[in-house]
């Protein structure tokens, strides 16, 4: 078979793979994937459905809902308008998004004039109706952060990330909150209030289980208390998350040295040197 024939065959196979499917089947598969949070694959299936039938309006609604998951109300509305242009019976979805936008804007106005509870009602109403709209949870987190209600802010930022793990603004918000828990924990540690320090480090981990800084500080704290097993457990957790954290390797070495396990200590110290030769 010639090179030209092979290329033509490949094109035909791809064309058959795409256009040989039923848009309804692709829609149902996409909706199922969207429900479990696989937005990229769901979006791909909705786009495939539109390749087969460019007038297939439900796929535009699917794309709209994908963007709502991501917290991008403008993009969600953009696709809802495309859906309505294809099928006017889908106007209710577009109107629903207008209502969401109005509530978000109303919430922002209420925050500006200090009516925080009224804003919370607006955001809650959205989240009850559309529990997959990460933007509402993020807005609630931002409001609580501005009120200096750090724990509630953490809870809402986490909720936004549970809905959409790649929500960059919610990620930044949660990072700011966990750093505050960490800093307050460090202050308590320096005062000698180890119980409060432990509680604050663990509070950061309650909202972000990947916040390795807290695991490290807990490891240092448990080492100070003479709890070698706990210290090793926490420091090992750091290295699961961030294998190149040289301070954890070094601190692990000191724990093993204290336990008179010199062979293990040497291995940890050597790893520290490998990571940080200076």
pLDDT at 20: 53
Place of tokens 């909150």: 177
Contact criterion met (CB below 8 Å) for 65 and 132:
yes
Q: How many helices (H) and strands (E) does the chain have?
A: 15, 0
pLDDT at 116: 94
Residues 67, 71, 72: CA angle, nearest 5 degrees: 60
pLDDT at 16: 41
Average pLDDT over residues 147-172: 96
pLDDT at 142: 95
Indicate if the pLDDT at residue 25 is higher than 80: yes
Q: What is the pLDDT of residues 33-83, one digit of tens each?
A: 999 999 999 999 999 999 999 999 999 999 999 999 999 999 999 999 999
DSSP summary character for residue 88: G
Average pLDDT over the chain reads 92
pLDDT at 18: 45
Q: What is the pLDDT of residues 196-208, one digit of tens each?
A: 999 999 999 999 9
Q: What share of the chain is helix, strand, coil (3-state, %, to 5)?
A: 85, 0, 15
Contact partners, residue 40, CB within 8 Å, separation at least 6? none
Q: What is the pLDDT of residues 233-266, one digit of tens each?
A: 999 999 999 999 999 999 999 999 999 999 999 9
Place of tokens 């208390």: 225
Query: Which region among 20-24, 117-121, 161-165 has the lowest average model confidence (pLDDT)?
Result: 20-24
pLDDT at 133: 96
| Domains assigned to the chain | 8-163 (1.25.40.10), 171-275 (1.25.40.10)
Average pLDDT over residues 130-135: 94
């Amino acid at each position: 078979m010639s090179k030209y024939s092979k290329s033509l065959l490949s094109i035909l196979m791809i064309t058959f793979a795409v256009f040989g499917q039923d848009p309804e089947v692709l829609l149902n598969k996409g909706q199922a994937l969207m429900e479990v949070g696989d937005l990229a694959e769901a979006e791909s299936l909705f786009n495939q459905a539109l390749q087969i039938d460019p007038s297939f309006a439900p796929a535009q609604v699917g794309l709209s809902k994908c963007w709502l998951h991501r917290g991008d109300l403008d993009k969600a509305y953009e696709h809802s308008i495309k859906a309505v242009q294809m099928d006017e019976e889908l106007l209710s979805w577009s109107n629903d998004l207008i209502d969401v936008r109005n509530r978000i804007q109303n919430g922002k106005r209420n925050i500006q004039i200090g009516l925080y509870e009224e804003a919370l009602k607006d955001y809650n109403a959205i989240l009850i109706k559309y529990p997959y709209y990460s933007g509402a949870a993020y807005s609630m987190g931002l409001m609580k952060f501005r009120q200096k209600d750090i724990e509630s802010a953490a809870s809402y930022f986490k909720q936004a990330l549970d809905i959409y793990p790649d929500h960059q603004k919610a990620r930044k918000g949660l990072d700011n909150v966990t750093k505050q828990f960490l800093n307050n924990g460090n202050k308590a540690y320096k005062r000698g209030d180890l119980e409060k320090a432990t509680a604050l480090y663990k509070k950061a981990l309650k909202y972000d289980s990947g916040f390795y800084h807290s695991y490290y500080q807990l490891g240092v704290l448990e080492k100070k208390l003479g709890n070698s097993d706990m210290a090793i457990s926490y420091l090992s957790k750091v290295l699961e998350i961030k294998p190149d954290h040289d301070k954890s390797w070094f601190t692990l070495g000191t724990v093993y040295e204290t336990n008179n396990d010199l062979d293990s200590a040497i291995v940890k110290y050597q790893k520290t040197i490998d990571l940080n030769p200076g």
